[in-house]
Amino acid sequence: MLSAKSLATLTAAVLVGGALAAAEAQAPDSTLLRPTDVTLTVSNDTHLDGVYRSSGVSTKCGLADYGYPHRMNSFAVEFPDDPSATPMEVKVTFDADTLAAGTTTSSFYLSARLDTPRVGTPPALVVRAREPKYDEPGTVTRVTVGGTDTLRIVGTATSGTKVRLVMTVVCRPRP
């Protein structure tokens, strides 16, 4: 039979051990709130041609499986996290069902929204490369080094004409 002191010590050890395990199980999602840099080059559009840059924090940059087995190597970007906090020239929504580190795919969705004094806020430039019926082909390559993910996206958006987009998204690890 345990003494009251031994029972109290054992109870405290179990509670502390359980709290540590719970804290470890609740580690922050490393794909959320990552420092992110975006560079977009637009060509073949007389009003929008140019280079646009934004830096800030992304809402999401990384794996986005949503519990679906076919998305085990997916990648998604929502940038910026708070568009009202800092003016951004480029706002990005990107999604690929499969894009493991070190691979390239031609099946993805990209929406790039511009907001600058020069061009104002035109409709989003959208590349629906995963939907051939739109004839908006493209490729995206993902490189991961030291926890930093870099996407190089090249695609064709339809905005009255076929507009060429070249985008680089760099998501660094959370501090």
Q: What tens digit of pLDDT does each residue of 27-60 get?
A: 788 899 999 999 999 999 999 999 999 999 999 9
For 53, 74, 123, the CA distances from 170, given in Å and listed in that order, are: 12, 16, 24
pLDDT of residue 83: 79
Q: Are residues 70 and 127 in the same domain?
A: yes
Query: How many domains does one find in the chain?
Result: 2
pLDDT value at 88 more than 60: yes
Q: What is the mean pLDDT of the chain?
A: 87
Tell me, yes or no, whether 42 and 24 share the same domain: no
Residues 77, 152: one domain?
yes
Q: What is the pTM of this model?
A: 0.83
User: Is 8 in the same domain as 75?
Assistant: no
pLDDT mean over 129-150: 96
- 20 with 70, same domain: the answer is no
Kindly tell me if the per-residue pLDDT of 15 is higher than 50.
Answer: no
Q: Do residue 5 and residue 70 come from a single domain? A: no
Tell me if 113 sits within 8 A of 159, measured CB to CB. no
Identify whether residues 2 and 86 lie together within a single domain.
no
Taking phi over 0 as left and psi of -120 to 50 as alpha, with beta for the rest, 50 belongs to: left
Judged against a pLDDT cut of 80, whether residue 4 lies above it is answered with: no
pLDDT over 50 (residue 14)? no
Q: 78 and 160: one domain?
A: yes
Distance CA 32, CA 81 (A): 9
How many angstroms separate the CA atoms of 74 and 135, rounded?
23
Q: What percent of the chain has pLDDT over 70?
A: 85
Residues 151, 95 share a domain: yes
Are 15 and 40 members of one domain? Answer: no
Domain around 89? 31-171
Q: Which residue matches tokens 């493209």?
A: 138
Residues 137 and 75 both lie in one domain: yes
Q: What's the confidence (pLDDT) of residue 79? A: 96
Let me know whether 70 and 11 are in one domain: no
